């Protein structure tokens, strides 16, 4: 079955620490990849996306993600986190032949001031 796996359910970091959130997917075909973020009390918003081209994509607020096709991975990174990055992060995938996006279970990130 198609699935998206996020490695960590809950991550706690101090400000200025580096962040990497793991995401793997199990699709055989060509995919589009997304990271969404949900700040406390707010709606889900798109952080970044990959469709084609450079596998290293940059998003808002200093986030980036790298698509590694051979590993079916799309990990999210940020070199130095801030307290305002406290949120829940969702990795998501869709096959190009379909408009449905499948989401992972989410990673709650808590940044200590």
Q: CA nearest 86: which of 33, 35, 19?
A: 19
Query: Cα–Cα–Cα angle for 71, 104, 94, nearest 5°?
Result: 70
Q: Does residue 101 touch another protein according to CB under 8 A?
A: yes
Instruction: Name the one range near another protein by CB under 8 A: 19-27, 42-50, 62-70, 72-80.
Output: 42-50
Contact call for residue 59 and another protein (CB under 8 A):
no
- Residue 47 CA to residue 58 CA, distance in Å, equals 9
99 binds another protein, rule: CB under 8 A: yes
Contact footprint for another protein (CB under 8 A): 9, 32, 34, 36, 42-46, 49, 51, 90, 92, 94, 99-106
């Amino acid at each position: 079955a198609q699935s998206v796996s996020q490695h960590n359910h809950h991550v706690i970091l101090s400000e200025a620490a580096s962040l990497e959130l793991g995401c793997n997917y199990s699709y055989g075909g060509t995919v589009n990849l997304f990271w969404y973020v949900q700040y406390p009390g707010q709606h889900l918003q798109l952080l970044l996306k990959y469709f084609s081209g450079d596998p290293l994509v940059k998003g808002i607020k200093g986030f980036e993600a790298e698509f590694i096709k051979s590993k079916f991975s799309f990990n999210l990174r940020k070199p130095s986190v801030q307290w305002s990055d406290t949120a829940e992060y969702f990795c998501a995938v869709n096959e190009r032949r379909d408009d449905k996006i499948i989401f992972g279970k989410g990673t709650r990130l808590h940044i200590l001031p």
